């Protein structure tokens, strides 16, 4: 495949065993630019034979890769990081064309992906075992740590670059081989791009394999392949349950980051300027298409009216439209089904008694008959059981729920099946920490918003938001296994 990282390159090939190959099938999947609604390229619609070939290559390459010195595996990831940064401008443009990402989203994605690659490179020197004393005289216990084998990565469409990176780079650094299945909407930035970058830096054949295609065609085979030892999945809870169950049939380790319904609690003494800065970013960045974005604003009744008015004013002022305009902050939703679902939640919520303060409609885009851009939306008078609040709306929608005391705020925040991220704003940090301790989420951010990801800090969810952990040593535990080796150095006495 030519050394071209633009959307105009030929992306119609799979990356298997170090080669760009045609699919065993004869179908293709069109990639649509969400801003223009135009098909901009196509990728192979992989079939089960392609999946089998990818796992065969991964299994064959993994042992030799695991035997490489830590410095060699570190070097491979460091060189990949260099290639990522060298092509960052092209990658930001790819994210705009394929994922509908604004420049803010694209640059943030590259920054976070680079952070994950840099952290992954250090894992090779942290794969340490341990020595343990024995209860048996003359025995020595050694615990060794090694790679699991083949890691399956199934990545989502919303932040395809960094959410693929956080699994692919650590898995390779730890000595595993990888089969990467990107989302159908974002097969390049979530998948084929990784093949090009790792090919550029000379990763050995078969260590990374990328198969594109429809989840309905190959998803079960990818999640349940007998050569897979770990399945790292990011996506909805409903799909994640199926993926985890399929993986478990082969006793593969499921590492799942799933849905969220993230609360943003604002107390009566909070600094409203800071809270609204955080609220605007946390609700509307990348059109709210973030698993850890704010889903519900839970605001004390004493400041509720002012908060709603000011949030609605900010929302209405955000430039919304095509991301090919550099001034755009709120771009298009990924596709029609996602757009229609979130607008349906808004309509149901208004019908249930909430007030539409601003938004709730699509924004026209020049030259586009059926725009995917949804205006930043603020809803007041919301209760926790209304559609935009009780569902993960995954859009630029801000339902604002009032509360009278902190016990009620915590009760509202925790009244969901999800437990991914959350945030609390309060003037008294002690109060904020008390609230944070009571929130049933994998991470809580005080006087900030819930969209945070740092590669050296564990990232996990509770309840229906997932199982297992990403980032740093937490993910290293998922993709490696320990082996107990005992050495009986002196003759041992047995009872018979």
Active-site residue numbers? Answer: 257, 291
Whether the Cβ atoms of residue 408 and residue 429 lie closer than 8 Å to each other: no
Whether the Cβ atoms of residue 425 and residue 270 lie closer than 8 Å to each other: yes
Whether the Cβ atoms of residue 234 and residue 180 lie closer than 8 Å to each other: no
Measured over the CA atoms of residue 219, residue 153, residue 159 and residue 79, the dihedral's sign is negative
C-alpha distance across the termini of the chain, in Å: 67
Measured over the CA atoms of residue 304, residue 307, residue 309 and residue 312, the dihedral's sign is negative
What would the two tokens of residue 84 be? 């990522």
Whether the Cβ atoms of residue 53 and residue 221 lie closer than 8 Å to each other: no
266: enclosing H helix or E strand = strand 262-266
Query: What's the residue count for the chain?
Result: 496
**Using CB atoms within 10 A of its CB, is residue 484 exposed (0-12), middle (13-18) or buried (19+)?**
exposed
Going by C-beta distance under 8 Å and a sequence separation of 6 or more, which residues neighbour residue 494? Answer: none
Q: Phi/psi of residue 9, each to 5°?
A: -65, 165
């Amino acid at each position: 495949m030519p050394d071209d990282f633009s959307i105009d390159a030929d992306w119609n090939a799979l990356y298997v065993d170090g080669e760009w190959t045609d699919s065993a099938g004869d179908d293709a999947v069109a990639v649509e630019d969400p801003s223009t609604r135009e098909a901009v390229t196509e990728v192979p619609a992989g079939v089960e034979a392609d999946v089998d070939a990818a796992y065969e290559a991964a299994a064959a390459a993994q042992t030799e890769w695991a035997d490489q010195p830590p410095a060699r595996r570190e070097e491979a990831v460091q060189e990949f990081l260099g290639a990522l940064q060298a092509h960052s401008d092209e990658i930001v443009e790819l994210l705009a064309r394929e994922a509908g990402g604004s420049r803010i989203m694209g640059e943030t994605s590259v920054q976070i992906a680079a952070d994950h690659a840099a952290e992954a490179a250090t894992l090779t020197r942290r794969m340490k075992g341990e020595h343990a004393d024995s209860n048996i005289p003359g025995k020595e216990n050694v615990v060794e740590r090694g790679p699991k084998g083949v890691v399956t990565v199934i990545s989502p469409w919303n932040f395809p670059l960094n959410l693929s990176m956080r699994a692919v780079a650590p898995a390779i650094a730890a000595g595993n081989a990888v089969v990467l299945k990107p989302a159908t909407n974002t097969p390049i930035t979530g998948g084929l791009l990784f093949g090009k970058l790792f090919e550029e830096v000379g990763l050995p054949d078969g260590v990374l394999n990328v198969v594109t295609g429809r989840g309905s065609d190959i998803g079960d085979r990818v999640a349940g392949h007998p050569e897979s030892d770990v399945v790292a999945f990011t996506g909805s809870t409903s799909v994640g349950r199926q993926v985890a169950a399929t993986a478990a049939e082969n006793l593969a380790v499921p590492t799942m980051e799933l849905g969220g319904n993230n609360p943003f609690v604002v107390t009566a003494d909070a600094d409203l300027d800071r809270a609204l800065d955080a609220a605007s970013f946390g609700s509307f960045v990348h059109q709210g298409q973030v698993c850890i974005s704010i889903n519900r604003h839970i605001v004390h009744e004493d400041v509720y009216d002012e908060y709603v008015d000011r949030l609605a004013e900010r929302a209405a002022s955000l430039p919304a439209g095509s991301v090919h305009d550099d001034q755009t902050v709120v771009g298009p939703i990924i596709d029609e089904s996602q757009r229609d679902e979130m607008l349906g939640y808004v309509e149901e919520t208004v019908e249930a008694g909430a007030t539409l303060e601003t938004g709730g409609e699509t924004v026209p885009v020049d030259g586009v008959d059926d725009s995917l851009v949804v205006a930043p939306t603020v809803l007041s008078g919301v209760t926790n059981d209304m559609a935009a609040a009780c569902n993960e709306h995954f859009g630029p929608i801000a339902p604002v729920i009032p509360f009278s005391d902190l016990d009620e705020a915590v009760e509202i925040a925790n009244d969901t099946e999800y437990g991914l991220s959350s945030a609390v704003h309060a003037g008294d940090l002690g109060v904020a920490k008390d609230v944070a301790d009571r929130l049933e989420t994998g991470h809580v951010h005080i006087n900030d918003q819930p969209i945070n990801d740092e590669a050296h800090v564990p990232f996990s969810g509770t309840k229906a938001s997932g199982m297992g952990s990403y980032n740093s040593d937490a993910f290293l535990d998922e993709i490696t296994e320990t082996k107990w080796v005992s050495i009986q150095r002196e003759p041992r006495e047995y009872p018979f």
